[in-house]
Structure 1
Amino acid sequence: MPLIEKLLILAITFQALLAVIILVLMGRERVPRVMSGEIAVKDIAVDRSAYPLKARLLSNSFDNQFQLPVLFYVVAIFALWSGGTNWSELALAWGFVALRYAHAAIHVTTNRVHRRFMVYSAGLAVLCLLWLLVLLRLLLS
């Protein structure tokens, strides 16, 4: 397997790892509160409002890992499947992953919505460029 494909698989792995990291952090915020009785199970059975802010921010960030990143996984699989991944596609893939880490960091810390939106929008733009490059390569080959 060519190095470029290994590096793309690594980008996919780092994106998946972000979801796992957030899931673990969310569990560390939620589980002790439920286990200690601080929060009753009946209060969280339908919605998350009984959790403190930090747990809700982590939960929202975790949910967000199944939005744009799903489109990233699809285009990355197309790029790998086609076997002709190039350095521009790889750079965009890693740029997207870096922006997702930045977005998650903002989401679970300061949660400054304007800043978070700017990073989200940049990630969306990078993802659209990645889709365009992969699509053009597949259609023109």
Structure 2
Amino acid sequence: MSLPSQFIFLPVLLQILLTIGVYVALAVAKSRALRDGQVDLARRALHADAWPDSVQKINNNIRNQFEVPVLFYVLVVILHQLDAAAALAEGLAWLFVASRVVHATVHTRSNHVPVRRPVFMFGCLIILAMGVLATVAVFE
């Protein structure tokens, strides 16, 4: 028994929640940095380096949420529109979002690149696989 094709949008909703969660973390980190006097107030509006590393890590991750995940959003819509949102596509979508959760956690905490990079690359490979599925579906 297959799941309804609209279930492929559940990982999309989780990815959106992740992005909102990172924005909340950024607001908290900025508030703490301001409270603790760690911000160059004269430069904060235009210069990322006016903020401490704890804020910059989260800010960098926010930017990341609007790079590869945009491809994910588009591919999910394409797969759904082509009636190709079957179990494999759904599984890949969940794997992608799981990789993004791990990536965001590492990026905003330890920022340990030897861990972060393979997780990022794994997510990119999932996007590639979803792209292949979409391409095949176009020609079916």
Same fold (TM over 0.5): yes
Q: Does 1:12 align with 2:12?
A: yes
Matched AA of 1:5: S
Report the CA distance between 1:6 and its aligned residue.
3.2
Residue type matched to 2:30 in 1? R
- Partner residue in 2 for 1:22: 22
How is 1:55-94 mapped onto 2 (pairs within 5 angstroms)?
55-94=55-94
Q: Which one is further off, 116-125 or 44-53?
A: 44-53
Structure 1 residue 135: Cα displacement: 1.6
Which 5+ residue runs of structure 2 have no aligned equivalent?
A: none
Give percent identity, aligned residues only. Answer: 25
What residue in structure 2 maps to residue 49 of structure 1?
49
1:114 equivalent in alignment to 2:117: no
Query: What's the TM-score, normalizing by structure 2?
Result: 0.90
- Supply the AA of the counterpart residue of 2:133: L
TM-score between the two structures when normalised by the length of structure 1? 0.89
Equivalent residue for 1:128? 128
Q: How many residues align?
A: 138
Q: Determine the C-alpha separation between the residues in 2 that align with 1:45 and 1:97.
A: 31
The structural deviation recorded for 1:41 is 4.2
Q: CA deviation at 1:48?
A: 1.2
Which of structure 1's runs of 4+ aligned residues deviate more than 4 A?
none
How much has 1:79 moved relative to structure 2?
A: 1.3
Q: Is the 8 A contact 1:4 1:87 kept in 2?
A: no
AA aligned opposite 1:95:
L
Whether the 8 Å contact between 1:4 and 1:90 is mirrored in structure 2 is no
Report the Cα distance in structure 1 between the residues aligned to 2:127 and 2:136, rounded to whole angstroms.
Answer: 14
Structure 2: distance between partners of 1:32 and 1:118 = 31
